[in-house]
Amino acid sequence: MTLTPAELSALLPLLIPALGACLLPIACLDSDQATVKWIRASMFFIALLALTGAFFYLTRLWATGAQPSFGALRMDRLAQFGGIFVLVAAAMAVLQLWDHLHQEGWVKGETLALLLFSVVGMMLFAATGNLLLLFLALELLSLPLYALTATVRMRARAMEGGMKYFLTGAVASAFFLMGSVLLYGATGSLDIAVIGARLASGAVDPIALAGAAMLLLGFLFKMSVVPFHQWTPDVYEAAPHPIAGFMSVATKGVAVLALMRVMALGLPAVGLQMRSALALLAVLSLVLGNLAALAQSSLKRMLAYSSISHAGYLLLGLVAGTPGAYAGMLFYLLAYLAMNMGAFGVLSAFGLVGDQVGYDQLKGLGWKRPGLAIAVSLCMFSLAGLPPMAGFYGKYMIFKELILQGHVGLAVLGVLASLVSVYYYLAVPVALFMDKPSGQEQREAAERPAVVAPFAGATVLICGFLVLALGLMPGTVMAAFARKAVQETLTLAP
């Protein structure tokens, strides 16, 4: 079988990280070798090289405007957007992992290999409308994540978290597969566009409806939407901080992209009936996520519940279901990438290790590490949706579309939820800048060795900068990326 250049260029963005993933285990076959510094460094270098290689290839594709495809794999604008999004998140996670794993004393080559495999799965997930391929991608992205959750496997909680994630994830995957089967049975096709066309032409088959609902469950699980969210806090807490950040951003992101593709292309007929269900789930996520986050004393659990609430905001975009709302969701995802990678990354940058990192461990750090503290505060303000940070515009665009579509009640509920969220997001700058550590705590802090985490620190600073930059020129970003991706992919389809 020969590949045409177009087919190759559709495949290459996936092949580059896959190649890196295959190389990495060879570099560290003997895991004791990871104790040698230059081997460790070269492992991280290979991983970063693979990620940046794919990144530059994709940006070039984007710049040329080419949208190659290979069978059911369609490297269109939306897929390219998803790929770039995942690669940036993964690169930040790799940089943070270097510092975090050293702090944990647990540097192993397989961690990076698993991460790269997961990246391949995610890119594929955003790049196809074929249900079988979607399932394959879902598994490819999930299985490494289950293992990654339990990276520091000496720790009981890590093992517990990984196991929990695997068991619940497997059930969700089974639902996804069953949904595909039912849709195939009802329409005779695995391609989502064809399914959509067949469904639209006749009365809606209850079997197809059941299939669509099951399919949806698979996506919603990955997005951690209520009531499929229970795994989230435990898994985020068990996973290494950078992995938790990566999961919260990239997994949710590609799930949203894939769901957007399925909703926009495939199930317009069913979509109408699903929309009220989605609205209900969005409301539940907003209410439960925000209220539960209020009660947390552990930072990672707070961020986990916050990620549940952000899934709710993103779902509201799907409820509005207009091209403008889709573009707003893409902008939201970019903002979310910056603010959440910053929020999780700062834990590594401050050198906070262990299962439970509480607010009180941030006390007084703001004045010791002002750059990092300001950057992460910007991320928190952005998560809370305060202007002029990026998160504000993400919410703004989604709410605006909701209101234009007549869902004023949902918009009011959304802003009230974000009002609640202000309280717990502000608790981070409060701890950083306003809490004064007691004499005892100051002495303990002085005894601890100074934390050096240059790479994690750099990613946090970049995130802080991105949060501001995206917020100051939302129009440019919308026109250059988000709207293009939506216009050229979702609205042109049948």
Partner 1 sequence: MITAWINSHLLSFLVFAPMLWGLALLPLSERQAPLAKLLGLLGSTGVLVVAASQLLHLPADALGQVWAERFPWFTAVGIPVDYHLAVDGLNLWLVLLTTFLVPLTLLGTWNSIKERPGTAVALFLMLETGMLGALVAQDLFVFYLFWEAMLLPMYFLIGVWGGDERKYAATKFVLFTLSGSLLWLVALLFLAGKAGSFAPGVMAQAVTALPFATQSTLFLAFALAFAIKVPLFPLHTWLPDAHTQAPTGGSVILAGVLLKLGSYGFLRFALPMFPDAAAHYAQLLAVLSVAAIIYGALVAMVQTDIKKLVAYSSVSHMGFIMLGIASMTVLGTQGAMLQMLNHGISTGALFLLVGMLYDRAHTRRIADFGGVALKMPVFTAFFLIVTLSSIGLPLTNGFAGEFLILNGAYTSGFAWGRALACVATLGVLLSAVYMLWMVKRVFWGPANVQEDSGTAHLHDDLNGREIAVMLPIVVLIFWMGVHPQTFLGASERQVGQMLIQQRAPRPVPGPFAEVKP
User: Contact positions toward partner 1, by CB under 8 A?
Assistant: 324, 327-328, 367, 381, 386-388, 393, 396-397, 399-401, 403-404, 408, 411-412, 415-416, 418-419, 422-423, 426, 429-430, 433-435, 473-476, 478
The number of beta carbons lying within 10 Å of the beta carbon of residue 202 is 10
Measured N-to-C along each axis, helices 206-223 and 268-294 cross at an angle, to the nearest 10 degrees, of 30
Return the number of the residue (79 or 293) whose C-beta is nearest partner 1: 293
Q: Least distance to partner 1 from the beta carbon of 263, Å?
A: 18
Q: Containing H/E element for 211?
A: helix 206-223
Q: Least distance to partner 1 from the beta carbon of 52, Å?
A: 31
- Tokens linked to 147: 């293992």
Q: Residue 65: left (phi > 0), alpha (psi -120 to 50), or beta?
A: left
The angle subtended at Cα 357 by Cα 312 and Cα 156, nearest 5°, is 95
Q: Least distance to partner 1 from the beta carbon of 478, Å?
A: 6
Return the number of the residue (408 or 452) whose C-beta is nearest partner 1: 408
Return the number of the residue (434 or 452) whose C-beta is nearest partner 1: 434
Return the number of the residue (321 or 328) whose C-beta is nearest partner 1: 328
Backbone φ, ψ for residue 369 (5° rounding): -125, 70
Return the number of the residue (178 or 374) whose C-beta is nearest partner 1: 374
Q: Least distance to partner 1 from the beta carbon of 429, Å?
A: 8
Q: Least distance to partner 1 from the beta carbon of 423, Å?
A: 6
8 A C-beta contact, residue 464 and residue 386? no
Q: Least distance to partner 1 from the beta carbon of 438, Å?
A: 14
Tell me which residue of 307, 250, 260, 261 sits closest to 119, measured CA to CA: 250
Q: Least distance to partner 1 from the beta carbon of 67, Å?
A: 24
SS3 74: strand
- CA–CA distance, 266 with 193 (Å, rounded to integer): 5
Return the number of the residue (22 or 479) whose C-beta is nearest partner 1: 479
Return the number of the residue (164 or 483) whose C-beta is nearest partner 1: 483
Return the number of the residue (347 or 478) whose C-beta is nearest partner 1: 478
Q: Containing H/E element for 73?
A: strand 73-74
Q: Least distance to partner 1 from the beta carbon of 474, Å?
A: 6
Burial pattern 207-240, b for ≥16 Cβ within 10 A else e, equals ebbebbbbbbbbbbbbbbbbebbebbbbbbbbbb
Backbone φ, ψ for residue 3 (5° rounding): -100, 135
The identity of residue 20, as a single letter, is G
The number of beta carbons lying within 10 Å of the beta carbon of residue 387 is 13
Backbone φ, ψ for residue 467 (5° rounding): -60, -40
Return the number of the residue (178 or 294) whose C-beta is nearest partner 1: 294
Return the number of the residue (227 or 409) whose C-beta is nearest partner 1: 409
List beta partners, residue 130: 191
Q: Least distance to partner 1 from the beta carbon of 388, Å?
A: 6
DSSP 70: E
Q: Least distance to partner 1 from the beta carbon of 259, Å?
A: 20
Backbone φ, ψ for residue 74 (5° rounding): -120, 110
- CA–CA distance, 129 with 131 (Å, rounded to integer): 6
The angle subtended at Cα 102 by Cα 97 and Cα 107, nearest 5°, is 75
